[in-house]
Structure 1
């Protein structure tokens, strides 16, 4: 990891720590969960997991997680991504000013 990557990692850690300590992480996280629930995302992921478990009874948790993770990320609706990104940007704009 070069110096620039280290500095970026430090900045990300500081932002995350500030988000958590300010309580904004919980607020944004709750909004994300609600939007995902409303969009039917949880149901879709549950169906994918059940289908995989039925097709492959020898699968362990790590394998199931690795199978589902990219699908789960792809299935997040664009409007949900956009709304949460706006919330994070608003928070960062407020903190940086």
Structure 2
């Protein structure tokens, strides 16, 4: 791991710690879950996982997760991504100023 990569990881860790300690992590997380629920994302991912299990019933959890995770990430509506990213940007701007 390069020094630049280590520094970036430290910055990410500090931001995450600050998000958690300030209570903003929970706020953003709850908003994300609500928006995903309202968009039908949970149902779509559940259906995807169920279909995969029916087609390949001998899969273990790690195999199923490896299959579902990238597809689930693609299913997140762009509007949800944009709104959550905006919340995080607003939060970062507030703590930097």
Listed as ranges, the gaps of 5+ residues in structure 1 are none
Q: How many residues align?
A: 97
Cα distance in 2 for partners of 1:52, 1:2 equals 39
Q: Take 2:35 and 2:24, find their aligned partners in 1: how far apart are those partners?
A: 16
Q: Give the drift of 1:51.
A: 0.3
- Unmatched tracts of structure 2, length 5 or more: none
TM-score by length of 1: 0.99
Deviating 4+ runs (over 2 angstroms):
none
Structure 1 position 71, deviation (Å) = 0.2
Q: CA deviation at 1:96?
A: 0.5
Partner Cα separation in structure 2 for residue 55 and residue 4 of structure 1: 44
In 2, Cα distance between equivalents of 1:2 and 1:54: 43
CA RMSD of aligned residues (A): 0.4
Q: Deviations over 1:29-70 (max 9, x none)?
A: 000000000000000000000001111110100000000000
Match of 1:68 in 2: 68
SS across alignment from 1:59: coil
TM score, norm. by length of structure 2: 0.99
